Structures are given as C-alpha cells and as structure tokens.
Amino acid sequence: MGHRLHGWSDADEMRWEEKDAEATGGAAAACHSHTEAGGGKVDPTRRSRYIAIRRRRRQGAGGGTVDLGRGCLRRFVCRGGWVQAEAWLAEACGGGGRLDRLRGSQVVGHAMRGEIHHASFFIMCKKRRAVSEALRFCRLIDSPKISTFNMLLSVCAHSQDFDGALQVMVLLKDAGLTPDCKLYTTLISTCAKCGKVDAMFEVFHEMVSAGIEPNVNTYSALIDGCARAGQVAKAFGAYGIMSSKKVKPDRVIFNALISACGESGAVARAFDVLSEMTAESSESKGTGPILPDHVTVGALMKTCIQAGQAHRAREVYKMLHEYDIKGTPEVYTIALRSCSLTGDFGFALKIYEDMNKMGVKPDEMFLSALVDVAGHARRADAAFEIMKDARAKDLQVGTMAYSSLMGACCNVSNL
C-alpha cells in the first residue's frame, strides 16, 4: 500500500508514460497499441506498471495512491536533470549497488520500503552537496517527521547553503511541526558554516524564547560560528552564557574557543583556555580535567603560527608525545608550517619520522609542506629525495607537491 504522492496528476502520469516510451524504446507505448503493432510482445513488468497507472486514474484525481516501482522511481528521481541519480540510488542501496534491488520501493512517511531509506538518500545528497535534490525529495515524503527535516538541514549545513536552510524551515512550518533542540542546533550550525553570525544568534534567541533549553552542542555550534568569523569576543560571550546556565563544557567547546583565539592571534588567551581545560576541576566545568586531543594541539599551533611565534608552536607540538596522541596528517602539516617560518629542516624531518613511527600515512598536503620547508632551507636535493621516497612508498603525489618542488628549486636558483 503506497502513500499518496503530493501534486501528482493524470497529466504527470501521461508525461512519465511518454518518457518511459522514449527511454525503453517504445515499450510503454506498446501497452496502448499492441494490437495495432502486429501483436508484438510486451514486457510483463512494463505492462504491470501501465496497469497500475491506469488503476490510479480510475480512482479519480487525488483519491488514489502511486506505487513507485523501480522504473518509476528512477524517472522520478531523474526529474529536473538530477545528475548521476542512478549512481546515487545504487550507492544508497549498498551491497552490489544494483538498481533492480529497488523493485517495489515506495516513498513512505518514515522510509522508502524495500532496500533504500530516505535517510540513505539524504546521505548521498550530503556527500554531493545536492541541496536542491534533497529539498525536492523531501517534498515527496508524506507526513515527514522532525528527524526528516533535521537530516535535510544537515545537507544544507554540509553544503553551506543558507538559503536552502531557510527553505527547510518553511517546509517544516508547512508540515505543522515545531523545531526541537536538535533541529535548532543544526540550523545554528548551518548559519555558522555559512558565516551568518547575526542570523546564528537570532536563531539562538528564538530558540530560547520558544522555551527550548540549549544544550552543550548548541553552544558548541555558536562558538564555532564565532571562531570561523574571527569574532573572539562573541565566542567568549557565548561561553559565558553557557557557564551561567550551568551547562558543562566538553573538549569540543574548549577546542572551538582556542580556534577563535587563533583567528584573532590571541595567544595568551588560547593558553588560558588550555589551562582551564586541563585543570583538575573548576566551578564552570563541574568535572575533572579534560585531556587535549589532536584538534587541541592543531588549534594551539595555528594560534602560535598566526602570531608569528614558531618556537612556541614547536613546544605545543611536544604535547602529542606528552599525552600520547597519535595525530592526523593535518596536525603534522600544521607543525611543518612552523618550520617554514624558521627554515628548520632538521625539525621538519623529525616530524616526518614521528609521523611514520605513529603509523600515520602522509597525504599530499603534508608532502607539499615538507618539500616547502626543504625549499626554505635551500635544500633542493632533499626535496627531490622526499619526492622519490614518497613515490617508493606509493604515497599520493600530485600537482600540489610538484608545485612545492618547483618552488624549492627556485629558492636555490636550481632551475
């Protein structure tokens, strides 16, 4: 039993029949005129689909249901020129990625019955930053839940599409639903990633006025938005509100505060945040010490580098060993940037050695930064050795790394 498809008319059905005829070499049209076509055989699957559409028509406009079978679903998703729709659906199905696994699927309120859930489709849209496709798909779902709109907002946040987020809120209102804390938080995160700081705080005040209590994730999104915009005063203002509400901060909150300091070059304040974070206990935290992670170390090093304090960034790097943090290619790349300021190629090689010991595979960004340090140290020979070693280890070496290699050669006039 399918659910009614909003805005679906007989004209729509006829149009899809015509498209089906074009896409399948006239098989759908044969259902209409098989007696005039010399008794040609008709595919039973296509004939069944045609009979289902005819049954829908007989039920009267707006009074029936439409079962979106494999073919109809594919065309439905492809409406409006959706690029690579079949690949999206196949990937969302999982397994072998065969579209024929979608046979018998329907758009329903909580999922698409069969092999694909609408959550999976939203994930595909999120990966491809396909906001308009996700919005269209949401409009097809009968009786969507608040979780549906939360997933849709996540697509907008990942795509940094503020206008799309506003459309989601309109759809939410049309559905007669009221935003909850999670949805407000996702909307604030969307504003943050789009650089809409004023809009972000407007949403926050609307949330509080509606009687919905913000949680630690809400404040984290607020502070992150301020950090991205380099508004350190507003970031600490949001932290002050959180403390007054007795909401316990977590590592994400402190990392966001340190990042905010980094954007404005407030080195001393960043280390004050670190001290509060690792303190045994405090009234604001209400918990024991919170240990730093690779994000903390990276944010602190960025802050030091932003202020031109390369030697202090090197001291922060030692926290990886002190707290036994494995790290990521990104945090090791940040450490290399401090070496570029001083031309300390020896320390850069030590970072590379540490990275290999910890079992972290270098990416192209790291290799490019390492070659760049060699260039600043006027070690073109070492830069070529680094590239040779990377190729021997089958590491990703692309245009970025080769561009740094050319720069290293230029630095020693070795063209």
CA distances from 51 to 55, 57, 113 (A): 6, 10, 21
Sort 75 into a burial class: Cβ within 10 Å, 0-12 / 13-18 / 19+. Answer: middle
| pLDDT, the chain, mean | 76
Domain extent listing, the chain? 1-67, 79-212, 215-291, 317-415
In angstroms, rounded to a whole number, what is the distance separating the alpha carbons of residues 135 and 141?
10
Which tokens belong to 45?
Answer: 């699957």
Q: Are 284 and 249 in contact (CB under 8 A)?
A: yes
The model's pLDDT over 217-262, given as tens digits with 9 standing for 90+, comes to 999 999 999 999 989 999 999 999 999 999 999 999 999 999 999 8
CA distances from 285 to 241, 243, 253, 273 (A): 13, 8, 11, 12
Q: Is the pLDDT of residue 30 over 50?
A: no
Q: Are 290 and 251 in contact (CB under 8 A)?
A: yes
What b/e string do you get for 152-168 counting C-beta neighbours within 10 Å, with b at 16 or more?
Answer: bbbbbbbbbbbebbebb
The model's pLDDT over 187-223, given as tens digits with 9 standing for 90+, comes to 999 999 999 999 999 999 999 999 999 999 999 999 9
Q: Are 382 and 373 in contact (CB under 8 A)?
A: no
Q: Residue 248 is which amino acid?
A: K
pTM for this model (two decimals): 0.69
